[in-house]
Structure 1
Amino acid sequence: MEVNKELTYTIRGIIFRVHKELGPGLLGRVYEEALLYEFSKAGLAAEAQVAVPVNYHSVKLDMGFRLDILIENCVILEIKSVSDLLDVHKKQLLTYLKLSNKPLGFLINFNSSFLIDRESIIRIIN
């Protein structure tokens, strides 16, 4: 499936539903499992803890980087449960997008009382 408005609308709806149901402050892994369940219910292919390859001068580096969730093999979700999203979190997602050659990612801070655009949920395009 390609990234389109319908897919991103569905993904965002699921993110908001999980946040509304569980509330803020849990460990990221809890939200990850709930999201995987909801994506499966919605008929979307989603994988957790997907290895991110790092190649340097044609050498594959075994660094153990893992992105939180990959949806439909094209959208990355990076899940945080922190007091504030930092620039380093955005850079991490952008790097994952570039290394995996994926077009779109969402950085989500589930430790927020409300998921407000640009503060708790950030869309990043590769």
Structure 2
Amino acid sequence: MIYLSKESFAITGAAMQVYNTLGSGFLESVYQEALAIEFTKRGIPFVKEKELKIYYDGHELKQTYRADFVCYDSIIVELKAVSDLNDSHRSQVYNYLKATGFRLGLLYNFGYYDGLQYERKLK
């Protein structure tokens, strides 16, 4: 069984609805606002721009990470509005998982012209 598959399926469905309604070409902040509305409509629990602590070698750092969303208290959702996802975007999500202790990250790109790009990252 895939880790948190039901939850990630619900989040991806909401993201697809936003993409199908707005298409590509807006700023990331527009998609973030629309996705918050869609999460609320679908009853998906979320915190927008949640500040997460980062740890290094067992020590809490002063620097924090602000996730676009944390859904279900356990999934980091990172949004992009770029022409195509690249390895730096993937590394960013993986590093957030590693530093925060979360196990699942979902990466969505609303800027791709031919449909919503999304990737599931599991630590």
Asked whether the two chains share a fold, i.e. TM above 0.5, the reply is: yes
Q: Deviations over 1:71-94 (max 9, x none)?
A: 011111110111221111111101
Q: CA RMSD in A?
A: 1.7
TM norm structure 1:
0.85
Unaligned stretches of 5+ in structure 1?
none
What aligned pairs does 1:41-120 form with structure 2 within 5 A after superposition? 41-115=41-115, 120=117
Unaligned stretches of 5+ in structure 2?
none
Q: Deviations over 1:29-57 (max 9, x none)?
A: 11111111111111121111111312235
What aligned pairs does 1:15-30 form with structure 2 within 5 A after superposition? 15-30=15-30
**AA matched with 1:125:** L
Mapped contact 2:50–2:68 kept (Cα < 8 A): yes
Q: Whole-Å Cα distance in 2 between the matches of residues 114 and 107 of structure 1?
A: 16
Q: Whole-Å Cα distance in 1 between the matches of residues 4 and 61 of structure 2?
A: 33
**AA matched with 1:20:** N
Q: Name the CA shift for 1:99/1:57 in 2 (closer, same or farther; >3 Å).
A: closer
Mapped contact 1:52–1:96 kept (Cα < 8 A): no
Higher strand share: 2
Mapped contact 2:105–2:121 kept (Cα < 8 A): yes
Q: Whole-Å Cα distance in 2 between the matches of residues 59 and 5 of structure 1?
A: 31
Question: What is the CA-CA distance between 1:62 and the residue it aligns to?
Answer: 2.2
Aligned to 1:124: 121
Q: Whole-Å Cα distance in 2 between the matches of residues 41 and 62 of structure 1?
A: 35
Q: Whole-Å Cα distance in 2 between the matches of residues 5 and 56 of structure 1?
A: 29
Identity value in percent: 32
TM norm structure 2:
0.87
**Number of residue pairs matched by the alignment:** 121
